[in-house]
Structure 1
Amino acid sequence: MEHSSLQPGTLWPAILHQTEHALRCGALRPIETIQTVLEERGIRFLVRQVSSLVRKEEARQARKVEAGACSTVNPFLPYDPDLFVADLSDTHVALLNKFNVIDHHLLIITRCFKPQEALLEFADFVALTACMAEFDGLGFYNGGAESGASQRHKHLQIVPLPLGASGPPLPIESVLRPEDMQGPIGTVPRLPFLHAFARLELPPAASLQAAHAAFDCYHALLEATGLRAIEMNGELHQSAPYNLLVTRRWMLLVPRYSECVEGISVNALGYAGSLFVRDAAQMQVIKRLGPMTVLQRVAIPATVGQQDISA
């Protein structure tokens, strides 16, 4: 079955319209936060205290119990039509994030089920770059549960920029210097964990050229960090969990070791400089450890070689 593709200039109005509708009917349940800025290593980390994350977790566990202990609920098949924003392509749709912390947070999901541990495909970047051509945003991907993914169904995400009221559009950008790189792929000296960073110049309009540029950059970062493809059931999967951050100007990939530090879950937004905590106790953990130490503990040590991470 063929589906219409995203028409230029239509996504942002559709987001605003559907947000109003979803709030009115109760399908969208924004999570209120208290924001704190913690500065470390030249980065003004945004830490949001989210007491109602408990509510989100309880709701998810309740759905699992209702569905039975041996089944897994997939909120994307079928998806809630009240959260539907746009058809992006034959393979992807855009939905509002039901429990959003950041306003106008979009999920870019595959129409058919694909596992979150599968490698990103060209079609994924066609959908992502189509969204990025519509507004300046941060695209990101949590490659598996250990990188902070809460759903098994493959989905990328995008949030509008800036993330905070002051400073660079993304806190992490204060230490990123893509213009100073000697080659297309490199590392960021102030990031004390295994990662790969790349310049990226996406054209202003959605195109296959933009998707190809992002897709090629993604594979270069996988290779630079030692991640490789593993075939499982006829599909290519990742050899280790990772987070991917994508803007119009750069791309960052961070292999992951674990999801949590002292109960605090970290996803790709953490490596953009935006962390989330459930309560005051978790906020104190981040203050005690420091945001960069939190990120370091769930990542791979910078001294680990490519062969080690792919083993």
Structure 2
Amino acid sequence: MESTFMQTVRMRTDAAIASGDLQPIQAEQVVLQDQGLPFIVRWVAALAAKDAAGKPASQGAAATTLPGGPRDPDFNPFLSPDPALLVGPVGDHHVAILNKFPVCLHHLVLARREFAEQCSPLEAIDFQALATVLSAQGGLGFYNGGAAAGASQRHKHVQWIPASDQNASLRALGAGMPSDFPVGNLARHPVLPLTHCFVRVDAGQGVDIQASAASMLTAFSQACVALDLRADAAGLLPPCNMLVGDGWMLVLPRSQEHFQGVSLNALSFGGTIYVRDPAQIDAIRAAGPLQALASVAY
């Protein structure tokens, strides 16, 4: 039986599409193979609209739109979420919001109720929010830790997308890892040509929320130590991506956001690369997905 939370997500999505507050997903895609790994390269029209709106950069108060131009760069959509996109609370510290510029149906932002910097390290409360959704629905949780990692908002948040053959996941990468790998152990994937850390986690659909959150927090902390990710006044350096799903967590440091004009975020490392323009698909095909990913990592 579908959870009450997911029923609310579906109802809010349907209503927001009907009202025009959320645009239907329009996408074209190709599937590329690289070293035996499948990569979906998908053009999503909503991402071009996101660029046109402008990227918010800092904490702000009220929603404002500049006359004849893009949104105020100080606008923070997570402090006062659009009621048409608001799903509801997730625990005591987060709220679920439909992503204004979704890459798939039911794409959620799990945002802190109070402002914190996106580039600061993930904490127990962030994994508690992710565990609440993952334990009920499965799917993929992810984090873009800073602008170089693909984050477009300074307000602290993680994100979630449902499980689907068409959505990013860790299934393909996980298939190349030992199936009996113990929870808490760290490993590298034999094919990924970039600095990264895989950690086996006890997290996913049906797992106790508290146990799941604790397992993810421990895994993230271990990965940060292994990758020499350090927190200072500027946040976690270097910026990083985190993906969690299908019993695995992947953490990797980032050197830059773009490959030949294509913004790459955590989902790119989950096998789905989103482009703003169909012509950008050719750039990914020419270089190869793994080389594109390596160019923005270390």
Normalised by the length of structure 2, the TM-score is: 0.89
Is 1:191 equivalent to 2:200 in the alignment? no
Secondary structure of 1:162 counterpart: coil
Secondary structure of 2:137 counterpart: coil
| Equivalenced residues, count | 288
Provide the residue aligned with 1:307 in structure 2: none
Identity of aligned residues (%): 36
Pick from 16, 19, 24: which aligns with 1:25? 19
Q: Spell out, residue by residue over 1:195-234, the C-alpha distance to the aligned partner (whole angstroms, 9 max, x if none).
A: 00011122724432221111111100111111012145xx
8 Å contact kept, 1:34–1:48: yes
Pick from 198, 213, 217: which aligns with 1:215? 217
- Opposite residue 79 of structure 2, the aligned amino acid is L
- Runs of 5+ consecutive residues of structure 2 not aligned to the other structure: 57-63
Whole-angstrom CA distance in 2 between matches of 1:186 and 1:194: 11
Provide the residue aligned with 1:102 in structure 2: 104
Provide the residue aligned with 1:265 in structure 2: 263
Change (3 A) 1:160 1:70: closer
- Opposite residue 282 of structure 1, the aligned amino acid is Q
Whole-angstrom CA distance in 1 between matches of 2:253 and 2:139: 22
Secondary structure of 2:91 counterpart: coil
Is 1:279 equivalent to 2:277 in the alignment? yes
Q: Which range moved further: 243-252 or 176-185?
A: 176-185
Is 1:292 equivalent to 2:290 in the alignment? yes
Whole-angstrom CA distance in 2 between matches of 1:118 and 1:182: 26
Provide the residue aligned with 2:60 in structure 1: none
Q: How does 1:1-311 map to 2 (within 5 A)?
A: 9-60=3-54, 65=66, 72-164=74-166, 170-177=171-178, 179-180=180-181, 184-202=185-203, 204-231=206-233, 237-300=235-298
- Opposite residue 239 of structure 1, the aligned amino acid is L
Give 1:92 shift.
Answer: 0.3
Change (3 A) 1:180 1:211: closer
Whole-angstrom CA distance in 2 between matches of 1:289 and 1:83: 37
Whole-angstrom CA distance in 2 between matches of 1:148 and 1:61: 11
Secondary structure of 1:73 counterpart: coil
Normalised by the length of structure 1, the TM-score is: 0.85
Secondary structure of 1:194 counterpart: coil
Whole-angstrom CA distance in 2 between matches of 1:83 and 1:182: 36
Whole-angstrom CA distance in 2 between matches of 1:104 and 1:58: 22
Change (3 A) 1:61 1:145: closer
Change (3 A) 1:28 1:16: same
Give 1:174 shift.
Answer: 4.0
Secondary structure of 1:156 counterpart: strand
- Runs of 5+ consecutive residues of structure 1 not aligned to the other structure: 1-7, 301-311
Change (3 A) 1:230 1:178: farther
Give the superposed CA RMSD: 2.6
Give 1:183 shift.
Answer: 7.2
8 Å contact kept, 1:30–1:101: no
Give 1:16 shift.
Answer: 1.0
Whole-angstrom CA distance in 2 between matches of 1:97 and 1:242: 21
